[in-house]
Structure 1
Amino acid sequence: MICDNYTTREDVEASWGFSCLIRNHGQTILFDTGSDGVVLEHNMARLGVDPASLDLLMISHQHWDHTGGIYDILNANRNLRVCVPRSFSAHFKSDMKRYGAQIMEVKKAREILPGFFTTGELEGILPEQAALVRTSAGTVVITGCAHPGIVSIVETAKKILPKDDIALVMGGFHLLDDSDDDILQMIARFKDKDVRYAAASHCSGERARNLFAREYGDHFIYLGAGSVITLEDIE
């Protein structure tokens, strides 16, 4: 994890927003860029991540706390491929192209890199895409804010990769305003769908994190900036 509301290391800063790094099949992908480019660059440096090493930047949706560091990344990695939902504003896409960004607009689910998929643009309060990472442990689902609904995103993942187990669902679950009963019902649906591990962060809220920890036990992962999850952690 590069940016999050929480931090797990003293040398890595917390800030409202979300950004995580994915390394899979020899590819390095940055998913979202947090709210603050200065914090993003600071945390990447502390975690030993060179922006120039990125093969792809994926942005879940057009909210400030997920797009805040885009231009800092593009300034350090010209001609980077950037995967965004098709609904992103023409102005935003034009600005990114000024940095040489190769814009990849997404509407439907597809495999972007070997073992790395987008759910496609999902409808909700705000159009949003999530990332699916196919691993030997199963599918890892990564969400920015889950505006279309976190359970709906999991269901979409199952449709895209029907033969794969869901090893982990991580990221922002957008549960800050949900009641305890609603959160518990959602957790029950996770279990019904055999989600093995859960890692709620960012806009999930402290109540949701605590309820997940109670219901999932050792299969809940407390995330924060500086966290590292390996395949061994979720097998």
Structure 2
Amino acid sequence: MNELNIREADRLEITVLMDNYTDIFLIESTDVCRRPQIPFFPQMLFAEHGFSCLIKVWAGNEEHTVLMDAAVTPACLFNNAELLKADLGKIEAVALSHGHPDHFLGLAELLKFVSKEQNKEVPLILHPDAFLERRFNIPVIGHPVLLPTLDESALKEARADLVNSEKAFPTANGFIHTTGEIERKIPFEKGFPWAESKVDGNWITDPFRDDQGLVIKVKGKGLVVISGCAHAGIINTVEHAKKITGTDKVHAVLGGFHLTGRLFDPIIQPTIDEMKRIDPDYIVPMHCTGWKAINRFAEEMPAQFMLNTVGTTYVFGGNL
């Protein structure tokens, strides 16, 4: 596998537009973790079981803005962006982590807005498998539950320029890359057996070939890896990012780690042990990581852990 020609960013900012958790009283900020300063009622940041973040990079005179995922409810996504004064009109491209509705249901409205602001199509980078039919087959429910499917025609109508790529793909002029399909090497990261997809007419345990993250290299700091749900495994994701960039130093790992629920309880500790081995400077578990796993990360990696809330901006790299 050839290493990516990844450009180093002087500075990186990641603003969480949507996540599962909000807290109006968590307002203390640091140089790295900036909490939203929004007046109380009736202005409120909304949380939902979804994920979306706005990513900005700077290098020299260059500035680029990319969106990863688009939450569930467009009204919530736009509400949060407005309160945070996040300029969605500057989005150059959108990267989709995978084809589950808590990451794509806000896409069409978001793309319509951005394409109208810019009067052009908006690149949407995704794996071809993001369009698969999917369902949950959870034993306690007793029957399969179909999930909304990503609608290619609706995306094109919203002026998406579809960039289907199984491999790592650059955006933001080479400062941000998708990971592409993630190599699976960690024995305990076996995916999500209750998730199924329809392949060649048959329902099978979802292989989540479309699951991908984003990777950015910050000058003098190392890699920042962002996952959507990490169905491929968060350790697999980080190790894959290291491999394709030829960089061992990991500065920060953010996003959903998919460790919620009894099915994943047994792998919480192995995941934490492996994350300690990787030893990032910062760890920010979000979305589908789950209450138990988030608390365990806080207990076992206290110097590196940051509790995420909707609207928080993470700043990595030097001052502008």
Q: TM-score band, normalised by the shorter chain?
A: over 0.9
Partner-residue secondary structure (3-state), 2:18 = coil
Per-residue CA deviations over 1:63-90 (Å, capped at 9, x if unaligned) read 1100121011111111111111121328
Aligned partners of 2:169 and 2:231: how far apart in 1? Answer: 20
The answer to whether 1:187 aligns with 2:272 is yes
Q: Give 1:229's aligned residue.
A: 314
What is the Cα deviation at residue 94 of structure 1? 2.6
Per-residue CA deviations over 1:189-220 (Å, capped at 9, x if unaligned) read 11212322211010000111110001111210
Q: Which moved more, 1:127-136 or 1:199-208?
A: 127-136
The answer to whether 1:22 aligns with 2:106 is no
Amino acid at match of 2:270: Q
Partner-residue secondary structure (3-state), 1:213 = helix
The answer to whether 1:85 aligns with 2:110 is no
Q: Give 1:200's aligned residue.
A: 285
Greater RCO, 1 or 2 (C-alpha within 8 Å, sep 6+): 2
Instruction: Give the count of matched residue pairs.
Output: 232
Write the mapping of 1:81-160 to structure 2, written as runs, cut at 5 A: 81-89=123-131, 92-113=151-172, 114-122=174-182, 125=206, 126=208, 127-136=210-219, 137-160=221-244
What TM-score comes out, normalization by structure 1 length? 0.92
Q: 1:53 to 1:121 in 2, by over 3 A?
A: same
RMSD: 1.8
Aligned partners of 1:75 and 1:100: how far apart in 2? Answer: 7
* 8 Å contact from structure 1 (residues 8, 227) kept in 2: no
Per-residue CA deviations over 1:101-122 (Å, capped at 9, x if unaligned) read 1111110123333221111033
Q: Which moved more, 1:110-119 or 1:206-215?
A: 110-119
Amino acid at match of 1:87: D
* 8 Å contact from structure 1 (residues 34, 40) kept in 2: yes
Partner-residue secondary structure (3-state), 1:160 = helix
* Structure 2 unmatched ranges of 5 or more: 1-15, 25-39, 116-120, 133-149, 184-190, 192-205
Partner-residue secondary structure (3-state), 2:303 = helix
In our comparison, the structure showing a higher alpha carbon Rg is 2
Aligned partners of 1:190 and 1:68: how far apart in 2? Answer: 31
The answer to whether 1:64 aligns with 2:101 is yes
* 8 Å contact from structure 2 (residues 94, 122) kept in 1: yes
Q: 1:70 to 1:186 in 2, by over 3 A?
A: same
What is the Cα deviation at residue 98 of structure 1? 1.3
Aligned partners of 2:161 and 2:246: how far apart in 1? Answer: 31
* 8 Å contact from structure 2 (residues 93, 171) kept in 1: no
Aligned partners of 2:152 and 2:89: how far apart in 1? Answer: 20
Aligned partners of 2:295 and 2:126: how far apart in 1? Answer: 32
Q: Flag the structure with higher helix content.
A: 1
* 8 Å contact from structure 1 (residues 86, 121) kept in 2: no
Per-residue CA deviations over 1:141-189 (Å, capped at 9, x if unaligned) read 111111111111111011012235111111100000222x521211111
What is the Cα deviation at residue 92 of structure 1? 2.2
* Structure 1 unmatched ranges of 5 or more: none
